[in-house]
Amino acid sequence: MEMIRLEHVTKSFGEQKVLDDVSFSVGEGEFLTVIGRSGCGKTTMLRMINGLQTPDSGHVYVEGQDVGTADLIALRRRIGYVIQNKGLFPHMTVEKNITYVPVISGRKNREENREQALKLLKLVGLDASVADRYPDELSGGQQQRVGIARALAAKAGILLMDEPFGALDEITKRSMQEELLRLQNRLRMTVVFITHDIREAMKLGDRVLVMEEGKIIQLDTPEQIRKHPADRFVEELTAF
């Protein structure tokens, strides 16, 4: 099944065309990585999927529903959004952050919420003792894990990740990558993952989307991209 589809999406900020006739789709359970130079439109594209940005023309569909006419609050509850160094509510404990969506959706049983939070912490490789801490009392890597736990608690079938591991050291980054792949496989989440790191893009993605100046240059499996780079830019990018 198709989870996300962009159809001829165009977006400008003032004179600058940031997305230029972008079309692609992401299947259920697929892990799509997105790579391209700074400013090429990656974040703008990602934010369209949960309705934080609207296209000037074209359409974005999530699970067949046009985001332009969807109930955005309901939509965002189905989509986890994990961004570097942001995204957690600073005034809420880790537990409250994780159970935020279930609670606002009406699940008020405290014990049940606590239990779920602890289970999810374990699942993302965190100790139960962090449940009562605040986000700024956690390391960057721990915060990312909490962000993922929160998306899982919301039973988000779709996870949008904008350079989630960009600020992490190599070792933590690697273990987070492994963990994410394991969870994604197990829970069959659909993931769109922006990165600046081509190794990360090739390692994590079932397919890799390469962008340049608001256009898709290539969208293919890591193997095909390596074998048949669409142009010099992709060739240089993947020459490692």
Ligand X SMILES: Nc1ncnc2c1ncn2[C@@H]1O[C@H](COP(=O)(O)OP(=O)(O)OP(=O)(O)O)[C@@H](O)[C@H]1O
Question: From start to end of the chain, where are the E strands?
Answer: 2-13, 16-27, 31-36, 57-62, 65-66, 79-83, 158-162, 190-194, 207-212, 215-220
Cβ distance to ligand X smaller for residue 117 or 210: 210
**Do the beta carbons of residue 47 and residue 207 sit within 8 Å?**
no
CA distance 175 to 25: 28
> Helix, strand or coil for residue 68?
helix
39 binds ligand X (CB under 6 A): yes
- Least separation, in Å, of the C-beta of 23 and ligand X? 17
CB-based contacts of 136, cutoff 8 Å, min separation 6 = 90
Min separation Cβ 67 and ligand X, Å: 17
Sign of the Cα pseudo-torsion (18, 23, 29, 32, in order): negative
Number of residue whose CB is nearest ligand X: 43
Contact residue for ligand X among 5, 42, 78, 207 (CB under 6 A): 42
Rounded to a whole number of angstroms, the minimum distance from the CB of residue 44 to ligand X is 3
- Rg of the chain over Cα atoms, rounded to whole angstroms, equals 18
The binding track of 9-38 with respect to ligand X, each residue x by CB under 6 A or -, is ----x----x-----------------x-x
* Long-range contacts of the stretch 120-129 (C-beta < 8 A, 24+): 120/149, 120/152, 120/153, 121/94, 121/145, 121/146, 121/149, 123/149, 123/152, 123/183, 124/148, 124/149, 124/152, 124/179, 124/183, 125/175, 125/179
Out of 33, 44, 177, 190, point to the residue binding ligand X (CB under 6 A).
Answer: 44
**Residue 51 within binding range of ligand X, rule CB under 6 A:** no
**Which is closer to ligand X, CB of 43 or CB of 238?**
43
Stretch that binds ligand X, among 39-47, 61-69, 102-110, 216-224 (CB under 6 A): 39-47
- What is the rounded CA–CA span in Å between residue 145 and residue 34? 21
Q: Coil, strand, or helix at residue 188? A: coil
126 vs 198 by CB, closer to ligand X = 198
Task: Report the nearest approach of ligand X to the CB of residue 193 (Å).
Answer: 13
- Work out whether 56 is an interface residue with ligand X (CB under 6 A): no
Applying CB under 6 A, what is the total number of residues that bind ligand X?
A: 10
Distance CA 94, CA 131 (A): 5
**Closest distance of CB 124 from ligand X, Å:** 25
Closest contact distance (angstroms) between CB of 194 and ligand X is 7
Q: What are 133's two structure tokens?
A: 């801490």
Q: Least distance from C-beta 174 to ligand X, angstroms?
A: 21
Site map for ligand X, 98-137, x if CB under 6 A?
----------------------------------------
Contact residues: ligand X, CB under 6 A: 13, 18, 36, 38-44
